[in-house]
Structures are given as structure tokens and as C-alpha cells.
């Protein structure tokens, strides 16, 4: 099929082509791809803190690298989103992004053997893996939203996220088992993540073959026609669309409010660093706790997705409350409190990656969704970068001060989100 946007139900059937999937099959197909891919990058993400710490990083460096990684995964979508809408190369960008993740994560296995250069190489690979997320996400989310919109946007994205979280749960479990088997060594577990990476790419190819042909999409390989303003949508068009996005004002206000939530949501890298540095659990136990967080995220995605379709976007007002509770619990010296904090962290991540995207899709026109997802993510990325660096710096000075600061930021987030949610509900 062509590389362009796939939406169910159009075009003249080709007898030689594979039978097209139903919308639910497409949602599940993307969910299984995400399941395999999440085993890769979430398995590695579970040990970013201990890995960087073993290579000589301080809490500030861990916070800066993991925060910059999340920022790269988000901010760069301001380019990849408009690029996807302009070129309509949704599948090319999706495949390229997944491939980058599948390559960079296993290469982290070599960093413990690089001596003084190990920390710099690990940081570069973490950033590159997150860039893969930025490349694929707006394009993939646009393809997915087409199918999810036909089965209930909140429900469809919730089911996709739940499948995604199964991989995010299984990956850290695999990593934990391999670390324990290797007597605490991290590199065998990282190398083994190449296997689910290959599986993800194979499944992605199958999903592309079975995706229904788009309705009204261009049949040619090139971009759709347009004037001078359309040419701004290319690689250099990200800044243009950030300054003049042509998107509804409620969407822009929602993006800023969500960015405050992202800024307050401390990275798991810093939480994992805290667990190991304060001897709350061995390195092999950190991925197990991360797996529990991913399970909490799956349940939160399903619950809030269903609630979104039933009662509307006001369910998203729970997100700042979840974020505010995390540092008050996750950076305690009592393991029980930390476990509760990590589960709340996972629930917040689940809501951010599913139900939040449902409101984005409902706030903008369909033909502008990739651009909207790109701009939305870039604003969140700015919050992630600022929040990651600030959290690492404040953590080294005062953990209670970090909890108070996050609480204040989430109050500001509520002030921004409430008017948007109320208006959309009406």
C-alpha cells in the first residue's frame, strides 16, 4: 500500500492485496507493535539511573540526561509532526523511528567497556533512542487515531496503551531476570533487548500491509499540492508552525497546562538513582518496581480512556493530582512509601500517553493532527527538560523542597486545564 495516511474504508479493492483489517484490528495491531517496542526501550529505561550511576554520573547528571531525553522525545515532534502532515510519509517516519530505538538500546550494552567515554556514549545513545520516539510518534498517533476514532477515541487509545504497557511491564521483568542471572551486570540484559526490537519491526511491517487504504488520500508518492505557505510545512516548517500553528486556542492552552504536568513528573531515572544510592533495593530490583509502574499505567489508561468516552475530558483533572503526589512519596527513605509513589508515577504516565492524546485528537481538525501532536509534544518537551534538570538539582539540596515545588507547579497546571476541560465538556 502507499505510504500515506491510512483511514478505513476506501479505495478500489485489489484482489491480490492482503485483506484489510477492521478498525479494532488496526488498534490492536499498533498495540502489539508498541508492546514489543516497549519491551526494548522501557526495559532499558528501567535501569537508566543505575546504568548512568555505574558510569560515574551524579544525581544532577542523571536528572539532566533523562530529562533531556524526554525533552528530545517531545520537542523534536514540532518538526516531525508538520513534516508528516506535509509529506504524508506517515509510515516512513513511523518505521524510521522504531528502527532507531531498536538499534540504539542494545548498543548501550557496550558502554560499560568504554572506560571514561562510557558515560558520554551512554548519554548520546539515550538521547538518540528518545529521538526515535520523536520521529515516529506524531505519524503513528495520526494513523492510530484514524482507527480509534471509529471505535471510541478514548476507548481505542486506552486499549492501545494497555497493550503498550504490557510490553512496558514485560521488558523490565526480562531485564531484572537477566541482571540477576548475570550477578548484577547490566550489559547482557541490554544486549538481549535486540530480540524484541526485531520483532517490533516485523510486526510493524505486517500492520502496514493490513492497514486499510485511505479515503481520499493521494495515490502518488509525492506530497500533496500546495502553495508557498504549504512549503513551510517541511523540515524547516516546525518553527513556523510553532509560531503560527493555525490551531484552536483551547488546544494551545491545553498544551501549556499539560506541559506543567510533564515538568512536575520526575523521571524514573532519578527515582531509580534514589533507590540504589540510598540502598532501598538492589539494582536488579529496580526494573521490577518499574514493571509495577507500567502495570499501573495500563490500568490507568484503560480506566481513564473509558471514563473519557463516558463523562468527557474532566477525567484529565486527575492528572495534576497524581503528579503532585509522586515526589512526596517516591523520594522517601521508606520502601513502602516509595513503592506507592512509583505506582502513582506509572498511573500518571499511563494517562499522559493515552487519554491526554484523545483530547488532543478531539480539539483539532483531522488533517492537522500530526502537526498538533508535534506541537503539543514540543511544549511538553520544554517542560520535561526544565523539570528534569530542576528536579536533579533540587534533589541534591532538599527532597522536601522538591515535593513542595512540584505541588506548586501542579496547582498552576490545574488553573490552566480547568477552563479547557469545562468548555470541551459543554
Residue 159 pLDDT: 80
Pick from 38, 29, 51: nearest CA to 174: 38
**Cell representation of residue 324:** 503532585
Residue 18 pLDDT: 64
Residue 188: strand, helix, or coil: helix
Residue 228 pLDDT: 39
**Distance between CA atoms of residues 321 and 376, nearest Å:** 21
Helix axes 335-352, 249-264, angle to 10 degrees: 160
What is the residue whose three cell numbers read 510545512?
Answer: 233
Pick from 15, 21, 6, 18: nearest CA to 215: 6
> Domains (ranges, CATH) in the chain?
23-215+240-425 (1.20.1250.20)
**Cell representation of residue 246:** 493555525
Considering the entire predicted model, what is its pTM? Answer: 0.67
Pick from 358, 376, 371: nearest CA to 257: 376
**Cell representation of residue 306:** 473509558
**Distance between CA atoms of residues 222 and 215, nearest Å:** 17
DSSP class per residue in 212-230: PPPSS---SSSPPP--HHH
Q: Residue 236 contacts by C-beta under 8 Å, 6 or more apart in sequence?
A: none
| Contact predicate 361/326, CB 8 Å | no
**190-193 contacts, C-beta under 8 A, 24 or more apart:** 190/44, 190/47, 190/51, 190/105, 190/106, 190/108, 190/109, 191/106, 191/109, 192/106, 193/39, 193/40, 193/43, 193/44, 193/105, 193/106
Residue 17 pLDDT: 56
Residue 320 pLDDT: 93
Residue 157 pLDDT: 76
Residue 355 pLDDT: 81
Sequential pLDDT tens for the chain (426 residues) = 445 544 444 445 555 556 777 778 888 888 899 899 989 988 888 888 889 988 988 888 887 888 788 778 878 877 888 888 888 888 899 999 999 999 999 999 999 999 889 999 999 999 999 999 889 988 888 888 878 777 777 778 778 877 887 888 888 889 889 998 888 888 999 999 999 999 999 999 888 887 776 443 333 334 444 443 444 444 444 444 444 456 788 888 898 999 999 999 988 888 888 888 888 888 878 888 888 888 898 888 888 888 888 888 888 899 999 999 999 999 999 999 999 999 999 999 888 877 888 888 888 887 777 778 878 877 887 888 888 888 888 988 899 999 999 999 999 999 999 988 887 655
**Distance between CA atoms of residues 170 and 165, nearest Å:** 8
Residue 408 pLDDT: 94
**Distance between CA atoms of residues 226 and 86, nearest Å:** 9
Residue 220 pLDDT: 32
Separation in Å, CA 320 to CA 107, 263, 410: 36, 11, 5
Side-chain-side CA neighbours of residue 373 (13 Å): 31
| Contact predicate 354/305, CB 8 Å | yes
Residue 110 pLDDT: 94
Amino acid at each position: 500500500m502507499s505510504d500515506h495516511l491510512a483511514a478505513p474504508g476506501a479505495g478500489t479493492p485489489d484482489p491480490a492485496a492482503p485483506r484489510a483489517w477492521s478498525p479494532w484490528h488496526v488498534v490492536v495491531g499498533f498495540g502489539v507493535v508498541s508492546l514489543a517496542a516497549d519491551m526494548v526501550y522501557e526495559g532499558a529505561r528501567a535501569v537508566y539511573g543505575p546504568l548512568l550511576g555505574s558510569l560515574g554520573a551524579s544525581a544532577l547528571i542523571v536528572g539532566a540526561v533523562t530529562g533531556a531525553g524526554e525533552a528530545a522525545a517531545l520537542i523534536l515532534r514540532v518538526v516531525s509532526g508538520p513534516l508528516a502532515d506535509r509529506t504524508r510519509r506517515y509510515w516512513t517516519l513511523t518505521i524510521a523511528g522504531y528502527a532507531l530505538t531498536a538499534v540504539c538500546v542494545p548498543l548501550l550494552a557496550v558502554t560499560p567497556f568504554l572506560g571514561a567515554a562510557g558515560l558520554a556514549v551512554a548519554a548520546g545513545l539515550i538521547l538518540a533512542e528518545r529521538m526515535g520516539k520523536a520521529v515516529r510518534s506524531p505519524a503513528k498517533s495520526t494513523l492510530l487515531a484514524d482507527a480509534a476514532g471509529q471505535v471510541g477515541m478514548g476507548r481505542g487509545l486506552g486499549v492501545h496503551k494497555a497493550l503498550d504497557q504490557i510490553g512496558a511491564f514485560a521488558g523490565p521483568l526480562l531485564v531484572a531476570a537477566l541482571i540477576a542471572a548475570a550477578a548484577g551486570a547490566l550489559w547482557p540484559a541490554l544486549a538481549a533487548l535486540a530480540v524484541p526490537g526485531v520483532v517490533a519491526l516485523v510486526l510493524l511491517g505486517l500492520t502496514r500491509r493490513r492497514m486499510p487504504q485511505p479515503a481520499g488520500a493521494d495515490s502518488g508518492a509525492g506530497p500533496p499540492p500546495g502553495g508557498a505557505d504549504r512549503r513551510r510545512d517541511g523540515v524547516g516548517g516546525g518553527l513556523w508552525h510553532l509560531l503560527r500553528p493555525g490551531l484552536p486556542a483551547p488546544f494551545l492552552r491545553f498544551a501549556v497546562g499539560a506541559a506543567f504536568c510533564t515538568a512536575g513528573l520526575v523521571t524514573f531515572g532519578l527515582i531509580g538513582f534514589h533507590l540504589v544510592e540510598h540502598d532501598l533495593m538492589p539494582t536488579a530490583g529496580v526494573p521490577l518496581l518499574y514493571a509495577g509502574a507500567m502495570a499501573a499505567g495500563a490500568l490507568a489508561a484503560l480506566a481513564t480512556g473509558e471514563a473519557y468516552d463516558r463523562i468527557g475530558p474532566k477525567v484529565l483533572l486527575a492528572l495534576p493530582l497524581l503528579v503532585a503526589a509522586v515526589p512526596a512519596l517516591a523520594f522517601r527513605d521508606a520502601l513502602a512509601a516509595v513503592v506507592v509513589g512509583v505506582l502513582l508515577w506509572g498511573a500518571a504516565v499511563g494517562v499522559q500517553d493515552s487519554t491526554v492524546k484523545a483530547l488532543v485528537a478531539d480539539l483539532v481538525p483531522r488533517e492537522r493532527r500530526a502537526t498538533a501532536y508535534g506541537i503539543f509534544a514540543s511544549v511538553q518537551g520544554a517542560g520535561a527538560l526544565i523539570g528534569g534538570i530542576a528536579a536533579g538539582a533540587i534533589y541534591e539540596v532538599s527532597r522536601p523542597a522538591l515535593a513542595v515545588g512540584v505541588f506548586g507547579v501542579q496547582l498552576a497546571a490545574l488553573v490552566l486545564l480547568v477552563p479547557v476541560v469545562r468548555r470541551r465538556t459543554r
